[in-house]
Amino acid sequence: MATGRTHRPATRSRGIPEATVARLPLYLRALTGLSERSVPTVSSEELAAAAGVNSAKLRKDFSYLGSYGTRGVGYDVEYLVYQISRELGLTQDWPVVIVGIGNLGAALANYGGFASRGFRVAALIDADPAMAGKQVAGIAVQHSDGLEKIISDNGVSIGVITTPPGVAQQVCDRLVAAGVTSILNFAPTVLAVPDGVDVRKVDLSIELQILAFHEQRKAGEEAAANENAVPAPAARADSTEQGPDGDVPAVMPA
């Protein structure tokens, strides 16, 4: 196993920034929409709006892939779809296993967006013997005893973990030992993996907590604004927060 960190060599032409990679799927989705509506070309401005980013960022992102646009015209939709798909590795298809077929695992198995784009659910795996053989999303659940064989028989390199947190690390270890090198973790645990294995995590609870932080801050600002509104002490406004017309949402519930 490649143990050494190969010390990123200020990579030459193939060094696409991580932030850009994370946005490519967004562009691809927007482009797919345009493609379905048979739109032939699109400007950076239009595409950026559809993807929810600004156009300078989009152009910079595309510049890492190459020069796929035409000045004065824009981008050819089909061509870009192909180029981005290729860059993301979606021209081949990726067999995926989901481990842990509870509510969430089942929901993911049923999720349409899975198959739509290069991914195929190769197997559903659960530790509960009572689950084995049951059909979920048209696929028979298999017992986790056979995990290693399933992985290697299907050439799976991407695993999705939707188990309870207590067993996520064990499952992860087995997946990695069996040859999986990319893991999408829905269990609220930090997974330890060897070098060369990528882990991405999705955590509902974390997302909500981040939202709560901002909610609280909004509430605080509102309160501060109200405080300012009444007394107005001799001291000047001290440029504290932004002006009165700032950011409190225009939507005031009746």
Q: Judged by CB, which is closer to DNA: 72, or 112? A: 72
How far CA 103 is from CA of 106, 132, 162, 185, in Å, comes to 5, 15, 9, 15
When binding is defined by CB under 7 A, the residue of 25, 74, 95, 188 that contacts DNA is 74
210 is a site residue for DNA (CB under 7 A): no
79 is a site residue for DNA (CB under 7 A): no
Residue 248 partner contact from DNA, a second copy, none using kind-dependent CB cut-offs of 5 to 8 Å: a second copy
Name which of 65, 80, 142 is nearest 105 in CA terms: 142
Give the whole-angstrom CA distance, residue 67 versus residue 216: 44
Q: Taking the CA atoms of the chain, what radius of gyration do you get in angstroms? A: 24
Give the whole-angstrom CA distance, residue 175 versus residue 151: 8
Residue 231 partner contact from DNA, a second copy, none using kind-dependent CB cut-offs of 5 to 8 Å: none
Q: Judged by CB, which is closer to a second copy: 235, or 254? A: 254
226 is a site residue for a second copy (CB under 8 A): no
When binding is defined by CB under 7 A, the residue of 9, 52, 72, 112 that contacts DNA is 72
Burial class of residue 232 in the structure, from the number of CB atoms within 10 Å of its CB (0-12 exposed, 13-18 middle, 19+ buried): exposed
Burial class of residue 45 in the structure, from the number of CB atoms within 10 Å of its CB (0-12 exposed, 13-18 middle, 19+ buried): middle
Contact 86, 65 (CB under 8 A): no
Place of tokens 């509430």: 219
When binding is defined by CB under 7 A, the residue of 20, 144, 185, 189 that contacts DNA is 20
Bridge partners (DSSP) listed for residue 95: 120
DSSP-derived pairing of the beta strands 74-76 and 69-70: antiparallel
Residue 195 partner contact from a second copy, DNA, none using kind-dependent CB cut-offs of 5 to 8 Å: a second copy
| 3 state DSSP class of 59 | helix
44 is a site residue for DNA (CB under 7 A): yes
Kindly indicate which of the ranges 59-67, 71-79, 124-132, 235-243 contains the residues binding a second copy, using the contact rule CB under 8 A.
Answer: 235-243
> Does the annotation list 54 as a binding residue?
no
CB of 74 vs DNA, minimal distance in Å:
4
Name which of 135, 139, 134 is nearest 154 in CA terms: 139
CB of 199 vs a second copy, minimal distance in Å:
5
Per CB under 8 A, contacts with a second copy among 169-188 are 176-179, 181-184, 188
Which spans of this chain sit near DNA (rule: CB under 7 A)? 8, 17-20, 42-45, 53-57, 59-60, 62-63, 67-75
Binding-site sequence positions for NAD(+): 100-105
